[in-house]
Chains A and B, each alone.
Chain A
Amino acid sequence: MNQSEISHLVSKLRIKVNPRLRKFRNPEGPLGRLKKLQKTVTALIKHERIELNYPRAEEARMYAERLISDAIRHGDCHKTTMENANFWITEKQLIHKLFKVLVPRFENYHTSYTRMHRAPRPYPGPLDKKAVLELRGNPYPSLIPDNISNKHLIHNVLLDEAKKEYRALKYAEIAAKIESEEKVVLQDVNLVKDVTSKVEDNVKM
């Protein structure tokens, strides 16, 4: 098996994957770490938007992305994918949501399936960095301000005017082109007229 075939075994994620995983030290060892992340992944699929500490959000995001992309690739009749889903989703009714709701939603996406924002930390309070992790296409109002729909915002005004100017330029170019073509046609017509008149003259002679 050469390298190009190996790279197709695992789906390529559309997020940055950390080269070194976080330990999340706890008494149960690596399994305890996975249990923590199970909880987060399940909560993400259940609530579609969660606020939590930054390291855990970033770590859980990678597993959630992998789970969804595998579900899209292999579908619900693939044994390994089903086992994975069974492992990561602790509330079993959400496995149906993964295959029946999220897979159709994300099938044609060209971006990542989740989105992560830095969130403000409470002040005064613990110093941990906070993040908001959400599934794309969720039903909640957007977290980032809408700079697109209001055409009176300064950048939209500038872009609008630039568009108008560009169009005017293109229309002028097209008009000039049509005019020059008409001229050529007229010249041709005149030529034909000259030739025919000459021929007629010859015939008369």
Chain B
Amino acid sequence: MNFNLLIQKQLFCSLTKCYNQKASQRLLSGTTEEAKRQSELFFLESKRQKEAIGRIEKINVNYVGVPENALLLMNKNLSTPFDCAKHLGEVVANRSALALINGETIWHMHRPIPESCSLELLHYNITQPAVVNKAFWRTCSFILGAVINNAFKENVHVQLHSFPSPNVRSGSFIYDAQISLEDWTPNENELKVLSSEMVKFSQQGYQIRSLDVSVDFALLIFKNNEHKTRQIPNIAASNGGKVTLFKAGDHVDISKGPMITNTNHLGRITVANVFKLNTDIPGGPIYRFQGVALPRSIILNHVAYSIIEERAKKMNSARIPCLQGVSEEESGYIKPTIG
């Protein structure tokens, strides 16, 4: 009797294990070997940079805002605005999208603070949210890139190209990618799958890390992507010899930043349409992926959302990438300031 029960139990265990394995395989089937290599390199480099700091010094961070003003004693070049936010409470930490340092410099939430400063934390429902909206739109493009990388079958060759400077008024965020499919027009179901992949990715709640790296290291990370390899020297030239990388989950990409804190800030997401672009870039057709998304904290009724969804289906008029010159997002590295 007992023996039978034991066998049954074991069988059940092994079955559930099998099932779990299968489920996890299906979930993980997206992440490619290449993405894993890139994220591993990113991790090692961030570890190296952290260890190179040496003796830890203290800085005073003067927080201004809700729930109350506070003076925080933080670690120089180690502590990030997110660490400060964690001292102020879970609600503040979870909703803050960007940091404002000394009242003028927009700062990524996971970027270490180099000196004593005053700190404000920005979220989506403030009186002047233009900067936050822009960072949100940029992050959406970045995440869309991750989704494009993961969503296609293995026989389809995907190479991300770039995304233009975010413009909320244009009605959609964009990622341009090279895909080895001739004359592909996605049907409704394919777009739905892309949307749901993006929802799944963002619901993983990945913190979006940022890292400044040298040109050589950037070239090493993107050695299998000829477009990025071509762009990197230009980007570095306009950014003092450094390339800013961002990472969410296993996806690493170049962007001047800043981005929002976490992928779970995204609420409603739609990948609205994909267009084939007319460019002179060699190696295959370039497709423009367009989408629209709203922060989780902003809830919109479905009628209003369908209006902006419909608009996102129209071709976005942002600059089409070509062989000569790089897009604004990559070239124009200006010290990001408010306004």
Contact across chains for B130 and A152 when beta carbons are under 8 A apart: yes
A31 at the interface (CB under 8 A from B): no
Contact across chains for A154 and B133 when beta carbons are under 8 A apart: yes
CA distance A121 to B309 in the complex (A): 37
A152 contact set on B, CB distance < 8 A: 127-130, 133
Contact across chains for B171 and A158 when beta carbons are under 8 A apart: yes
B308 at the interface (CB under 8 A from A): yes
Q: Do A155 and B308 form a contact, CB below 8 Å, given A161-B169, A161-B171, A162-B171?
A: yes
Q: A155-B298, A155-B304 are in contact. List 19 more A-B contacts (CB 8 A).
A: A147-B125, A150-B125, A150-B127, A152-B127, A152-B128, A153-B125, A153-B133, A153-B298, A154-B168, A154-B294, A155-B294, A155-B300, A157-B133, A157-B168, A158-B311, A161-B169, A161-B171, A162-B308, A165-B311
Contact across chains for B307 and A159 when beta carbons are under 8 A apart: yes
A147 contact set on B, CB distance < 8 A: 125, 298-299
Closest Cβ of chain B to A176, distance in Å, is 19
B170 contact set on A, CB distance < 8 A: 161
A153 contact set on B, CB distance < 8 A: 124-125, 129, 133, 298
Closest to A165 in B: B311
CA distance A152 to B129 in the complex (A): 6
Contact across chains for B307 and A162 when beta carbons are under 8 A apart: yes
Closest to A160 in B: B169
Q: Do A154 and B295 form a contact, CB below 8 Å, given A147-B125, A159-B304?
A: yes
CA distance A204 to B260 in the complex (A): 87
Closest Cβ of chain A to B8, distance in Å, is 37
Q: Which of A145, A147, A157, A158 has the most CB of B within 10 A?
A: A158
- A-contact bits for B158-189, CB 8 A (1 contact / 0 none): 00000000001111000000000000000000
CA distance A154 to B171 in the complex (A): 10
B42 at the interface (CB under 8 A from A): no
Contact across chains for A158 and B130 when beta carbons are under 8 A apart: no
Closest Cβ of chain B to A190, distance in Å, is 40
Q: Which of A125-181 contact B (CB under 8 A)?
A: 145, 147, 150, 152-155, 157-159, 161-162, 165
Closest Cβ of chain B to A92, distance in Å, is 42
B136 at the interface (CB under 8 A from A): yes
- A-contact bits for B267-306, CB 8 A (1 contact / 0 none): 0000000000000000000000000101101111000100
Closest Cβ of chain B to A112, distance in Å, is 18
CA distance A171 to B298 in the complex (A): 32
Contact across chains for B124 and A154 when beta carbons are under 8 A apart: yes
Contact across chains for A158 and B168 when beta carbons are under 8 A apart: yes
